[in-house]
Amino acid sequence: MARHFKLTADGGSRGNPGPAGFGAVVSENSHIIAEIYEFIGTATNNVAEYGGLIAGLKAIHDLDDQATVDVCMDSKLVVEQMSGRWQIKHADMRKLAQSAREAHSPSLVNYTWIPRDENSHADRLANKALDAQSGGHDKSEPVAPRQLNYLTERLKSAEKPTVLHLIRHGETVLTPSRKFSGVGPLNPVLTDTGRAQASAVAQAAAKLGAEVLIASPLNRTKQTAEIISQSTGLTINLDEIWFEMDFGYWDGLSVEEVKAQYADDYDKWLTDLTFKPAGGESWEAITARVESALSKILSEFPGQTVAVVTHNCVIKAAVAICLGAPIESVFHMDIGPCSINTLLMWPSDGLRAIRGVNQQSN
């Protein structure tokens, strides 16, 4: 009788691209039977994540080539691509996906996305691989200067990056008082001021040369995108991956009201990146989601110019990710309504750069 295994896998890159490694955990009947980790040199997060998947599937295939497998990963990109729900347009990613299919029969493998905190064992192994190679995370030679030189070389190269314009929606009734406005039932629409802001950014967007227009499905982003669509002639593609952060029971409250009613929770939210208001979303979770959203754009639209109408916290997380900054840096950013925030991503290895933040069109 064929055996059944669970595989959790992860990968990481310190620099993206930078020193990279992966980890994989194979278990059977809740008992761990294999731990795999390896340093793979300079690579991106996505390449490292695929590395963990492939290594784990190969190990399982050696144990039983007819085994069924439940793969659980916190990389939405890998899970969605291997499940066949996302297109794989980049040639290098297609090769990795094919290697995963060849490692163990795809008909025997099921893929499930899990939150990052449920994948901690594989994550620890990936970091163990990196630490064993570098002698620890705090290396005397920092990554940043190397990346700056690398970016300069890339900007001088002939490779065409994916240009991503992240556009925040226009003003709603909650915006002037900076009240929390997530994905809750309030779902506010644009005010007259918000529509005027959207009209102004639509005129600017028409000059950006965008080939694709994507929007979060919430009212305020859809309405902003509709005005941009009228100006650009682009069809709107709605995608929930660009939803705003979920603030749970804080939705509709001002910072002052949250401090007064939930003081301890507010302090935790500022200092504990895993904390989430009841029914809400942590900074760690939204960072993982935005990471997946960026990877999805790069995978589906290599070398193209894409405009995405999205939200304040999503844009802040994207900027932090592209800078390689700690997520706490979001508390030092101000992203205005209908501002344009431009990122560059190179298809060959996923290198990211910031071209402009909080650019105003009015």
CA atoms within 13 A on the CB side of 314: 27
Q: What is the mean pLDDT of residues 161-186?
A: 95
Q: What is the pLDDT of residue 147?
A: 45
Instruction: Please say if the pLDDT value at position 151 is more than 80.
Output: no
Q: What is the pLDDT of residue 182?
A: 95
Rounded to the nearest integer, the mean pLDDT of the chain is: 89
User: Any idea what the Cα angle at residue 50 is, between residues 46 and 51, rounded to 5°?
Assistant: 115
**If phi over 0 gives left and psi between -120 and 50 gives alpha, with beta otherwise, what is residue 188?**
beta
- Residue 18 tokens read as 């930078």
Is 169 a known active-site residue? yes
pLDDT tier for residue 361 given thresholds of 50, 70 and 90: confident
Q: What is the pLDDT of residue 17?
A: 81
Residue spans of the domains in the chain: they are 4-141, 162-359
Catalytic residue among 90, 104, 165, 169: 169
Q: What is the pLDDT of residue 2?
A: 79
**Contacts of residue 78, Cβ cutoff 8 Å, sequence gap at least 6:** 46, 49, 50, 53, 111
Instruction: Please say if the pLDDT value at position 143 is more than 70.
Output: no
| The domain made up of 4-141 is a member of CATH 3.30.420.10 | yes
Catalytic residue among 49, 80, 244, 291: 244
Instruction: Please say if the pLDDT value at position 159 is more than 50.
Output: yes
Is it true that 4-141 and 162-359 share their CATH fold?
no
Is 244 a known active-site residue? yes
Q: Which amino acid would we find at residue 268?
A: K
Q: What is the pLDDT of residue 362?
A: 61
What does the pLDDT look like over 205-244, one tens digit per residue? Answer: 999 999 999 999 999 999 999 999 999 999 999 999 999 9
Q: What is the mean pLDDT of residues 273-293?
A: 87
Q: What is the mean pLDDT of residues 294-313?
A: 94
CATH classification (class only), 162-359:
alpha beta
Locate tokens 């504990």: which residue?
272
Whether this model's pTM surpasses 0.75 = no
